[in-house]
């Protein structure tokens, strides 16, 4: 391990984190209605005032996590609080037993309800993290309520919104990799911030890991399938059944590694490493660099029109997972992947002139035009999260080397 090289990487990462945190505080926080705007152009100008409920939760979590990691700054705590307050006031649907909206207007009027329950997931994470920083009991109550609703909705509870599944269930039903993967992540946050229910979270995390390997990991195909039959059988006769999202797989890797560290499971570390290796081998663009957004498990044409684009968040997940694998296994190839991905991010996603990262690149690495720094799906979450986690891990690695 080249100590100076790692220190240089850490210096850049810390700079990007500080710039990102300031960017969203300066351009995104709504000081009139509360919450955060995330549809921002390259310079941080708002191009849509509709608000993503996912982003209210993610922003609320991120600024609390900054306080958890680096100590409380009042501007960070206020940013978290405004998102939490906005969600509580406007984003919970009382007609659907606490289900949350997907988008609302600037002043909080409901726009769209989705069948997916990730709004509840990010609301639970945000309230749990904020409770962990402040000890305010009402936020623990909110976090538990949303977390349990999120769990129940994915384990047989009828959806109180009345929205049915995407496909006619009598014809086709199945499982989605995103459900146990994100449940594992949210459960990990809740376990860390709510030690009073450790046994419950341990039980549920174990179930998530078992579901991932029982149903979605396919060694015979060298991939993780996003969509499978109820019994986990691959359905390779149509495009959605062959969909592989390499960035999703790599994000799941570090969720698994966190669980493996918690449970002291070297076998799970190796299994997670195998998933990472498959995803990088199949998804890294050998011509232009960067990670392709979607690939087909059999090499057939993917259906998604954005399949060959380069999005910011999968590269954030590579940075976390590669460095975590290097920390846990010690193989240099994972450190090499960390540096190669970091260089790609510096050269293509980072914007030294206006700050924050571009969200969406063409396959050749140029930003889509007009370029954006945020959207309904991109806000203060993946990029600063990856900077926090990699900064923390680099500090650990440097301290370990110094002690040897």
Q: Are the C-beta atoms of residues 194 and 215 closer than 8 Å to each other?
A: no
Q: How far apart are CA 195 and CA 322, in angstroms?
A: 29
C-alpha distances in angstroms, 323 versus 218, 222, 311, 389? 24, 22, 20, 9
**To 10 degrees, what angle do helices 137-153 and 178-193 make?**
160
Q: For residue 165, what pLDDT is reported?
A: 85
pLDDT of residue 355: 97
C-alpha dihedral sign at 181, 182, 187, 193: positive
Gyration radius of the chain's alpha carbons: 20
Question: How confident is the model over 333-368, as pLDDT tens digits?
Answer: 999 999 999 999 999 999 999 999 999 999 999 999
Ranges of H-type helices in 264-381 = 266-283, 312-329, 332-344
- The C-alpha atoms of residue 345 and residue 355 are separated, in whole angstroms, by 13
Q: At what angle do helices 74-86 and 3-27 cross, to 10 degrees?
A: 50
Tens digits of residue pLDDT in 38-65: 999 999 999 999 999 999 999 999 999 9
- Please tell me the number of Cα atoms within 13 Å of 183 on its side-chain side: 27
**Omega before residue 12 within 30° of 0, cis:** no
Extents of the domains making up the chain:
48-163
Q: What are the beta bridge partners of residue 103?
A: 52, 112
Sorted by sequence, the CB contacts under 8 Å of residue 365 that are 6+ apart come out as 288, 289, 290, 310, 344, 347, 348
Burial of 267 (0-12, 13-18, 19+ CB in 10 A): exposed
Question: How far, in Å, CA of 394 to CA of 326, rounded?
Answer: 11
Q: Which residues, including other chains, have CB under 8 Å from residue 33's CB and lie 6 or more apart?
A: 86, 106, 107, 108
Structure tokens at 102: 């997907």
Q: What is the pLDDT of residue 401?
A: 86
Could you give the CA distance from residue 91 to residue 76 in angstroms, rounded to a whole number? 21
pTM, two decimals, is 0.98
**Cα–Cα distance, 404 to 381 (Å, whole number):** 35
Only one residue has tokens 């296994």, namely 329
SS3 289: coil
pLDDT, residue 56, reads 98
Task: Tell me which residues of the chain have a pLDDT lower than 50.
Answer: none
The residue among 41, 119, 118 whose CA lies nearest residue 83 is 119
């Amino acid at each position: 391990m080249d100590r100076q090289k790692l220190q240089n990487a850490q210096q850049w990462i810390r700079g990007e984190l500080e710039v990102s945190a300031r960017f969203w505080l300066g351009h995104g926080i709504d000081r009139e209605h509360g919450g955060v705007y995330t549809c921002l152009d390259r310079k941080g100008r708002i191009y849509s005032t509709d608000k993503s409920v996912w982003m209210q939760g993610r922003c609320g979590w991120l600024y609390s996590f900054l306080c958890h990691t680096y100590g409380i700054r009042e501007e960070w705590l206020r940013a978290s609080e405004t998102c939490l307050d906005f969600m509580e006031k406007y984003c919970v649907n009382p007609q659907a037993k606490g289900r949350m909206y997907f988008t609302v207007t600037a002043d909080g009027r409901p726009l769209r309800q989705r069948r997916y329950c990730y709004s509840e997931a990010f609301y639970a994470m945000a309230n749990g993290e904020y409770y962990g920083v402040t000890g305010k009991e009402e936020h623990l109550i909110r976090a538990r309520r949303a977390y349990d609703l999120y769990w129940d909705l994915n384990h047989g509870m009828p959806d109180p919104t009345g929205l049915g599944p995407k496909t006619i269930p009598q014809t086709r039903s199945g499982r989605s990799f995103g459900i146990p993967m994100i449940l594992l992540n949210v459960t990990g946050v809740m376990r860390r911030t709510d030690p009073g229910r450790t046994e419950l979270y341990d039980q549920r995390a174990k179930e998530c890991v078992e579901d991932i390997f029982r149903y979605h990991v396919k060694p015979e195909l060298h991939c993780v399938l996003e969509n499978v039959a109820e019994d986990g059988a691959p359905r390779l006769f149509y495009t959605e059944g062959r969909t592989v999202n390499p960035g999703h797989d790599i994000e799941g890797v570090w969720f698994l590694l966190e669980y493996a560290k918690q449970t002291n499971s070297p076998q799970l570390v190796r299994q997670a490493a195998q998933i990472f290796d498959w995803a990088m081998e199949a998804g890294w663009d050998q011509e232009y660099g960067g990670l392709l957004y979607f690939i087909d498990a059999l090499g057939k044409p993917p259906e998604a029109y954005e399949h060959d684009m380069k999005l910011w968040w999968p590269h954030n997940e590579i940075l976390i997972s590669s460095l975590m694998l290097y920390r846990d296994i010690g193989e240099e190839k994972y450190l090499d992947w960390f540096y190669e991905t970091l260089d790609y991010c510096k050269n293509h996603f980072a914007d030294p002139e206006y700050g924050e990262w571009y969200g969406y690149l063409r396959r050749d690495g140029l930003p889509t035009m007009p370029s954006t720094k945020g959207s309904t799906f991109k806000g203060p979450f993946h990029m600063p999260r990856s900077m926090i986690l990699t900064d923390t891990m680099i500090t650990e690695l440097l301290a370990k080397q110094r002690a040897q």
